[in-house]
Amino acid sequence: MQVSELDRLIEHRARQARQNGERERPEEAPWKASVRRYNAAQDAERRAEWCDFHRLQAERHRRTLEDLARYHEAQAASLQATKQKEEA
């Protein structure tokens, strides 16, 4: 086959692919679809793990901050009691 015939064959195949909307060879499609499904599953798993992390972290912060607030309230009450004793 000569170069010009080969070029014509390649052009013809490319034109057909554009008309049919093909962007890849059919044998590549199942592999890419499999990769997309795998990546989607991994993304969903990561989102679920991050969601759990943030929920648990929020709970840890809430507990810590509540304890901290109670500590400061107790300190303020203690100082208030001391002030009242000094004034009396």
pLDDT band at 71 (very low <50, low <70, confident <90, very high): very high
Read off the pTM. 0.51
Q: In total, how many domains does the chain have? A: 1
The boundaries of the domain holding residue 40 are 3-87
Q: Are 57 and 49 in contact (CB under 8 A)?
A: no
Instruction: Name which of 4-8, 58-62, 65-69, 73-77 the model is least confident about.
Output: 4-8
In angstroms, the CA 74 to CA 62 distance is 18
Is the per-residue pLDDT at 54 higher than 60? yes
Is the per-residue pLDDT at 65 higher than 90? yes
In this structure, the chain runs to a length of 88
Tell me what pLDDT residue 58 has: 97
Is the per-residue pLDDT at 37 higher than 60? yes
